[in-house]
Each structure stands twice: as C-alpha cells, then as structure tokens.
Amino acid sequence: MKTYLAIAGGLPLLMVCSVAGTNYLVDPYLIHQWQTPQVQRLRAPIEKLNAWGKTYALALYRPDVIYLGNSRTELGLAVPKSGPLRVFNAALSGATVGDALRMLAHARRVADIRSVIWGIDAPSFTLSVGNTELENGLLASGGNYLGRRFLLDLQRAVSIDMTRASFDILGGQTPEICHASLAQFGQRDGECMRSRIAGWGGAAEVVGPRTREFLRGEGPTDGAMEALETSVRRACGLRWSLYVNPTHAMTIDAMYWAGRGGQYEEWLVRLAAMGKRLRQAGCDARLYDFSGFNGVTSEYVPQPGDSSEMRNYWETSHYRENVGDAILARLSGGPAAADGFGDELLPESMAAHIARLRKNRLAYLQTHRFEAATAHSIATNQAKGR
C-alpha cells in the first residue's frame, strides 16, 4: 500500500518537475536569457512575455542609458552598436506612462542609470495599466533579485502554453522569421513588423485600425503629469530627454476631428511648463516635440489596393528606424527642422509652436485629402461608438 501511494504521489511530481525543467532550459519565451544562444535564434514575429525578458536582462546587463516608452520607441529607437555607455531599449509594447514609471523604478534598482530617453504620446499619457505582462513580481524591490526571479521563472515554466512552445521548438515547428528584441539590446526587429503587416494585407490595410487604436487612449491625464514630474525630481541627478513620438499626422488630425485638439495643445504647453520647473530645480531635463504636421509625419499613406511600403512609417502608429535616428540626433544636440520637427518645448516659445502646429494642419488638410477624410471618418465613428 505504501509503495502504491509513493508511486501514485511521486509520478505526478516527477512529471511536473520534468516539464518545468524542460521549459526552463528551452525557455521558449526568453524570460531569463541575456546574450545566450537562445536569444540569437530566429523565431516567430510575436513576442510573448517580453516584459519578463527585459526586466531580467536589465538586471544582468546593468545599462547606463535606458529608453522608455511604448512599442513606438521599442521599434523606432536603435541601440548604438558601439560606444562607452551601455544602452538598453526598455520600452514595452502598449506601455503607458504608469508602466514606464514602474520599469524605470526597476531599472534604477538593478543598475546605475545615468540617462533616460523617453518617448511619450498624449493618448497613452496615463497611469492606467497598458502592458499587462509587467507583473509586480518581475520588479526589483529589495536584495537578491536574481534569486527571486529564478523561483518565479521556474514557477512560470509549469504552464501548458510554455510546454507547447517548448515542444514546438524542440520539434522544429517554430517559424524562423526574425530576432527577439533581446538580440538587439531591447529594440524590436523590424523584420517582425514587416512579417506581421504582410500577414494583415499590407500597410494600406493597417492605416485605419492603427489610427483608431491610437485615438482610443484615455490620456493625457493630470495624474500622469504629476507622477512624471515627481519621478524626475526624485532622480534629478540623471540626464532626462523626453520626446513626443512622431506618430503619423493622421493620428493627431484624428484627435482634432474628435474634439481633442485643444487638449493635445494644452498638454504640450503643460509639458513645456513642467520642463522649466524641473530645470529651475536643478534637473537636467529637456522635452522635445516630433509630432504634429511636418515633413516626416505628413508622408502620404498607401491607399486601398496599393501594396507599397512607407518610407518613414510601418503604418500610422509606428515610425521606422530612420526616423528614430533623426530623433536621437536631435536629442544629442542636433538642430530642429525648420517645420517644427524636433522643436524643444519651452514656455517662451509655445505660442509660436502652437500657431505653427495649427497652420501646418490647415495646409495638411488641403494636400492630404484621403488621409484627412479617413481620420475624420474614424473620429466620427468613434464618437458614435463604432
């Protein structure tokens, strides 16, 4: 009887341990990898548990400079391949300001951060949760973070989805399309985005949905502004470069059509005022605006039936690496464009900045009839609950 009970109790335990061990070693979602062969293998274009992998990598890599923000920053800002400083793109898909603040707190606990580059948007400027994978257990809160992560990762390995993913890899059933973001120091591989857009039918098919998705964001909120300023003040010794993401002009135009143009303008003005207060407090904090209607953001979008790609954008929400390079050049001291791309947000120049924003929009409406009509339709349908 005792032998039977031992077998009956031991076999399930043995199976669980075997599954957990296999999943932990294969690590199909790269939740505890950094500069390992697993990181370099080609994989499917959709990353799962990306927040797990990035929080772990931050603790091992201990970067000097981090990028924060959502998938726009994650995809658009490349990490320098050489240089004296360790740089890591810690942006997360779907992240709000609240998510980025939590990622910042984690990074500061596990590394000696010197500089922060942070991409923001008006709709995602909120403290609400945007990236649901950034669980509290992943964030450093005291000593022995890696030891605690080992136990957490082992616990996560006992799951059906990881078991299926592990067997797909072991059986050679996983698509080999692009690299994980960890292979590029946190930057998402553009080939992953190209593959996904092709699966959706091309950029022309994604323009509308992405613009609609952008408009659904609840921000900007007062709480996010207060939390951001408080966090910068508490880390005043860091170098802060915050920038408004250059989403396609259609997204900002849609905000105007939806009656949120004034809110967007006021948000820019408040960002400028916040930057001044921070500098007066002795913080090295600068804010830049790459959004609106300019030579980069006003690129014509492909219309239905046109399978061509855009030069500056994957679709209306995500800009390409060449645009990210221009952003980084401006943040490093380069000049702003004559049309306002990269203007520094300063209280004394905000009246002129807003006036040019409105003027450029009027010109855009005349030259981009298809884009304006699509943005107007999206805003109208959203107001009707469609």
In tens, the pLDDT along 240-292 reads: 999 999 999 999 999 999 999 999 999 999 999 999 999 999 999 999 999 99
Instruction: Name the residue ranges covered by the structural domains of the chain.
Output: 38-152+178-383
pLDDT for 63: 98
pLDDT tier, 5 (very low <50, low <70, confident <90, very high otherwise): very low
CB burial of residue 81 (10 Å; 0-12, 13-18, 19+): exposed
Paired sense of beta strands 343-344 and 284-289, if any = antiparallel
pLDDT tier, 13 (very low <50, low <70, confident <90, very high otherwise): very low
pLDDT for 17: 67
pLDDT for 91: 98
pLDDT tier, 81 (very low <50, low <70, confident <90, very high otherwise): confident
Q: Residue 251 is which amino acid?
A: T
Rounded Cα–Cα distance for residues 238 and 373 (Å): 44
Nearest to 288 by CA among 242, 354, 238, 335: 242
Is the CB of residue 183 less than 8 Å from the CB of residue 39? yes
Rounded Cα–Cα distance for residues 139 and 154 (Å): 16
For residues 95, 315, 359, 73, the Cα torsion angle rounded to the nearest 10 degrees is: 30
Q: And the tokens for 7? A: 């077998």
Is the CB of residue 244 less than 8 Å from the CB of residue 123? no
Nearest 5°: phi and psi at 344? -75, 140
Distant-in-sequence, close-in-space partners of 234: CB < 8 Å, separation ≥ 6? none
Q: Residue 45 is which amino acid?
A: P
pLDDT for 385: 77
Is the CB of residue 286 less than 8 Å from the CB of residue 240? yes
pLDDT tier, 384 (very low <50, low <70, confident <90, very high otherwise): confident
Q: Residue 111 is which amino acid?
A: A
pLDDT for 82: 86
pLDDT tier, 359 (very low <50, low <70, confident <90, very high otherwise): very high
For residues 126, 331, 93, 276, the Cα torsion angle rounded to the nearest 10 degrees is: -10
Residue 52 has pLDDT above 60, yes or no: yes
pLDDT tier, 144 (very low <50, low <70, confident <90, very high otherwise): very high
Q: Model-level pTM?
A: 0.94
Tokens 């613009």 -> residue:
211
Residue 10 has pLDDT above 60, yes or no: no
pLDDT > 70: percent of the chain: 95
Nearest to 211 by CA among 345, 375, 381, 334: 375
Nearest to 274 by CA among 237, 226, 218, 236: 226
